[in-house]
Amino acid sequence: MVKHDPNRTRSKKSVKMSLPSENPVLAVFEILARGQLVSQGIFIVAKLRIPDYLSDGGKSVDELANITKTNPNALYRLLRMLASVGIFRETTKVGAGLEQDEQNTVRRFDLTPAASLLLSETTNSVREFALLFGLDSFNRATTNLLHAIETGENSFKYANGLDLFEYFKQKQNKTEAEVFDNAMNCLNLSYVSTIFTLYDFSQFKTILDIGGGEGVFLSTILKKNPNQLGILFDMPKVIRRAKKKYWTSAAKPLYDHDNSLYSRCKLVKGNFFKTIPTGADCNIIKNVILNWDDESAALILKNCLHAMKMTSLTNLYRPGTQRSHPKLLIIETIMPEGNAPFFGKFTDILMLILTRGGRLRTEAELIKLLNSCGFDIVSITKPPDNVSFLSIVEAIPSEEQG
């Protein structure tokens, strides 16, 4: 009989998962099972904060079950499934003074790099997105995808009675609205650093972030450029929340403790379907156009065009000021042509489910839309080597080209 070190922790050998292409039935079954079960599993461990409990080291299933008030055997089976796709790592530890056998082996789990992204307080955390995908309203919408396919209408309204943004305005849905808002902030933080590798924002004097949410992206630009001014523009409810959370000295802002940052930024309430503030030489629309159909998107863009022209005229007749040529930056995912795997193809279906006519557009579709609204394209900057799924389209009013 082989003796084992009773204090040694052993990791199970990981098995590389691959679709059994030699058996198409099993291949499709695996795709079906993974899609729903892995997504739900990630939601559950995020909600139970299991990654947080593992942040100071591995724990046994019994310990985790006791902390989270769950069934140990059921929890083990869930964590084992997630470990098979890289979320957590299962380890075993032989009890002190005992030989290895199934009865005295302690079932334990550790964090993996992927599981670490589900921690509550960490850079690039995706926990809020995991919680979003677990909302009942979200799941009702996705399970009614067939309605969207049959009618072309969003299944969120069909399943929940209201369009997405109207639904989150309701008082009784406040908790779900907070999950959604936190997920959007998480998304903002995830791509900020990549965008700065693609484009130089230091060339501008005043940055207007249209539909900029709570100002995560804009505050980062202003921090990097101490002489710049900013304008954060969004719906009144969003601006009130932004001011309360980040943009007053009393709020002890998350992104910067230098109050001069906040003195350099105006917070403007409004509706981009009605009017857009003037005065900026850089107008940013980030992850906005994809939420709307062509008609609605065109209205936003035409309002941008009007604001940009008014800015140019104002500067022209201001003594001692040269006429400026404001630019429009559309920052969002561009859908590639062809059958190649691309994350945006899943995002596009989410737009079908959640919005009224929103979708990811191809480069040709985006150019056509901008041209129809009076813009010419100056450049399109795409991320290298798929390090990000966002591209930057730089445009100017058509008569200013050349």
Residue 311 has pLDDT above 50, yes or no: yes
Task: Report the C-alpha dihedral over residues 273, 277, 278, 281, rounded to 10 degrees.
Answer: -90
Beta bridge partners of 93: 9, 106
How many Å apart are CA 99 and CA 180, to the nearest integer?
50
Provide the b/e sequence for 84-100 (b: ≥16 CB within 10 Å).
Answer: eeebbbbbbbbeeeeeb
Task: Give residue limits of the domains in the chain.
Answer: 9-118, 170-400
15: pLDDT confidence band, cut at 50, 70 and 90? very low
How many Å apart are CA 229 and CA 184, to the nearest integer?
24
Report the predicted TM-score, pTM, of the whole model to 2 decimal places: 0.81
Q: Which residue has the higher pLDDT, 344 or 78?
A: 78
User: What are 223-262's pLDDT values in tens digits?
Assistant: 899 999 999 999 998 999 888 877 765 555 545 555 577 7
The confidence score (pLDDT) of residue 112 equals 95
Give residue for tokens 């969207």.
148
Please tell me whether residue 335 adopts helix, strand or coil conformation.
strand
The confidence score (pLDDT) of residue 193 equals 76
Residue 30 has pLDDT above 70, yes or no: yes
Q: Which residue has the higher pLDDT, 260 or 205?
A: 205
User: What are 132-172's pLDDT values in tens digits?
Assistant: 999 999 999 999 999 999 999 999 999 999 999 899 989 99
The stretch 54-63 carries a mean pLDDT of 95
Residue 8 has pLDDT above 60, yes or no: no
How many Å apart are CA 258 and CA 144, to the nearest integer?
47
How many Å apart are CA 389 and CA 387, to the nearest integer?
7
CB 108 within 8 A of CB 99: no
Name the residue type at position 331: I
Q: Which residue has the higher pLDDT, 115 or 341?
A: 115
The stretch 302-307 carries a mean pLDDT of 97
Cβ-proximal residues to 190 (8 Å cutoff; 6+ apart), any chain: 124, 126
Task: Report the C-alpha dihedral over residues 244, 232, 216, 226, rounded to 10 degrees.
Answer: -110
CATH code: domain 9-118 is: 1.10.10.10
Task: Report the C-alpha dihedral over residues 45, 50, 54, 59, rounded to 10 degrees.
Answer: -100
The stretch 29-52 carries a mean pLDDT of 89
The stretch 326-330 carries a mean pLDDT of 97
14: pLDDT confidence band, cut at 50, 70 and 90? very low
CB 360 within 8 A of CB 334: yes
Provide the b/e sequence for 112-129 (b: ≥16 CB within 10 Å).
Answer: bebbbbbbeeeeebbbbb
In percent, the amount of the chain with pLDDT more than 90 equals 60
How many Å apart are CA 109 and CA 329, to the nearest integer?
45
| HSE-up of residue 51 (Cα within 13 Å, Cβ side) | 27
User: What are 82-122's pLDDT values in tens digits?
Assistant: 999 999 999 976 554 434 445 557 799 999 999 999 998 77
User: What are 313-326's pLDDT values in tens digits?
Assistant: 876 555 555 556 89
The confidence score (pLDDT) of residue 3 equals 36
CATH code: domain 170-400 is: 3.40.50.150
How many Å apart are CA 293 and CA 358, to the nearest integer?
5
Residue 4 has pLDDT above 50, yes or no: no
User: What are 361-402's pLDDT values in tens digits?
Assistant: 999 999 999 999 999 999 999 887 655 689 999 999 997 654
The stretch 174-192 carries a mean pLDDT of 85
- Report how far apart the first and last C-alpha atoms of the chain are (Å, whole number): 84
The structure tokens listed for 213 are: 């949410």
SS3 content of the chain, % helix, strand, coil (to 5): 50, 15, 35
Cβ-proximal residues to 34 (8 Å cutoff; 6+ apart), any chain: 85
